[in-house]
Amino acid sequence: MGSITDVVNVAGSIGGLASAVGDAASLITGDWFRNLKQASYGGVAFGVESVRTAAGRKTSVHTYPFRDDVWVEDLGKRPRQFEVLGFLVEGDLVTGGGAVISQRDRLFQACETAGGQTLVHPTLGTVQSVCCLGVESIERRDLGRVFEIRLTLIVSGNRLFPTTTASTAAGSAAAASKTGLQALADFVKTSAASIAAGAAVVQQAVSTAVGWYEIGVTAINDVKRIIGAVSTLSGNFGRLFGGGNSGVSGSNTQAQSTTTAADLLSASSAARAAVLTAGASLQAAAANPSDSATLGAAAQAFVAAVAASATAPADAVRLVSSLAQYSPAPVTQTGPIGASMLAMQTALAALLRRCALAQLATTLTTYQPSSQQDADSVLGSAVALIDAESDIAGDAGDDNTFQALRQLRQSVVADLTSRGANVASVSAFSFNAPLPSLMLANRIYRDPTREQQLVQQINPRHPAFCPTSFQALSS
């Protein structure tokens, strides 16, 4: 057995260990209480006895006959709920709330105010948009100047409603389809009497269609379209290469990196062959103008093939616009036969122009303006063509076509306006000395990657020496 000294030493060791454990517990407890937040709701502070927090997922449990398990369908996040048991104290030095009755009244006012309030949770911290489902205040004689409170709270989200947005592109497409149908109906009404005049009238129909066809063929053979055929080639080839509509939000999409210039030129040749094939079908249909359905379909197919032959939407707009301005030389022959030939020429030319306008509206749905001025310019040109044809239809008594063209005009204006509304405008810039385009892009836009777009707009002799004054996108 040990001596009394040994027992005293062991007791001293146990006492020191107990003291160390007590100090550690005190330290941990002190850190815990120091990290707690002062609870409040709607700016009214209160003491806390307990807080119950509920969270999780919203679910729907589906049961099935003769199956031992269920399927739990997830319906989203469940809103957090809080049940707070607390108290208000008269003249509380911690909260500084003053009279307990005033504290209660302020808490009730916060709970009765519409909308969410800010909750300061002891451990979660600040929680926004918390709505009060109920508040209770308990006043007891034995508690004296202490009021017990019970809060039932829930976190509220934003008030969202489903919204619908009209597709302006779909509106233009629908108006274009209606314009083509009404134009064909008015062609049948106008040309029905003249077809019976004989072969001269049929020949005049073919001649009118050939004149329109030649405009389309000339358009697809121009140098600008051929250069634009390879504008989607992957890589950077400078501002002098590529089709139109290649600004900050250009619609041109780059081809795959494995695509070569020969591949793109081959596709362009195929598109040109499709135009020639559609033109042959148009001439064949014009030789039988009594079959108006075939003639109308052939005219629409031809102008669609011309538009599809362009790589850039801006080129497609340019090509189709030339077809919408078709005006054949008037018939000079006199007499009844001459009158019938003139009537056929006028009716068919109007049908062809209106088919081109319908395609123009469809093509414009793929055109992305590079600036607000660009949107205004393109819109002005398109509206001018539609207005000119509307005057012709009105003077000729083609009321259905006139109404369709007015609707087409409204659709085109709405479509281009909506897509050009968020595009920056063009502003004038001036610098004291010629600067490189890369430096200008960084100074104007704080984005060096927009250097190529800036060069496209400034069009300097050399990108390293841009002019001191120029116009470019403001942002």
Does 352 lie in the same domain as 335?
yes
Q: How many domains does the chain have?
A: 3
Residues 151, 172: one domain? no
Do 416 and 280 share a structural domain?
yes
Q: Residue 131 above 50 pLDDT?
A: yes
Residue 334 lies in a domain: yes
Same domain? 144 vs 187: no
Contacts 24+ apart (CB under 8 A), 294-299: 295/187, 295/351, 296/180, 296/183, 296/184, 296/187, 296/351, 296/355, 299/209, 299/351, 299/352, 299/355
Residues 262 and 123 in one domain: no
Across 113-127, 217-231, 330-344, least confident range: 217-231
Mean of pLDDT values over 429-455: 83
Q: Could you tell me if residue 294 is inside a domain? A: yes
Note whether 273 and 236 are same-domain residues: yes
pLDDT tens per residue across span 226-268 = 777 777 776 665 555 544 444 444 445 666 777 777 887 888 8
Reported for 372-375, long-range contacts at CB under 8 A and 24+ positions apart, including other chains, are 372/420, 372/423, 372/424, 372/425, 372/426, 373/425, 373/426, 374/247, 374/420, 374/423, 375/416, 375/417, 375/419, 375/420, 375/423
149 and 174 inside one domain:
no
Give the whole-number percent of the chain exceeding pLDDT 70. 87
Domain final position from 155, 185, 206: 155
Please, what's the b/e burial string for 393-431 (b: 16 or more CB within 10 A of its CB; e: otherwise)? beeeebebbbbbbbbbbebbbbbbeebbeebbebeebee
Q: Can you give the pLDDT at residue 62? A: 94
pTM, two decimal places: 0.62
pLDDT at 11: 39
Query: Are 144 and 180 members of one domain?
Result: no
Window from 193-197, 238-242, 295-299, 376-380 with minimum mean pLDDT: 238-242
pLDDT tens sequence across 315-324: 888 889 999 9
pLDDT per residue over 261-312, tens digit each? 788 788 888 888 898 999 899 888 888 888 888 888 999 999 999 988 887 7
The residues facing 469 across adjacent strands are 430
Domain membership flag for residue 7: no
* 3-class DSSP assignment, residue 436: coil
Q: What does the alpha-carbon distance between residue 293 and residue 233 come to, in Å, rounded to a whole number?
A: 40
**Residue 178 within a domain:** yes
More confident residue, 33 or 70: 70
| pLDDT band of 421, cuts 50, 70, 90 | low
User: Taking 90 as the threshold, does the pLDDT of residue 108 lie above it?
Assistant: yes
Residues 223 and 333 occupy one common structural domain: yes
Q: 357 and 405 in contact (C-beta within 8 Å)?
A: yes
Per-residue model confidence (pLDDT) at position 240? 56
Range of the domain at 85: 35-155
Kindly state the greatest CA–CA separation across the chain: 149
Average predicted confidence (pLDDT) for the chain? 81
Instruction: Please state, as a whole number, how many other Cβ atoms lie within 10 Å of the Cβ of residue 199.
Output: 8
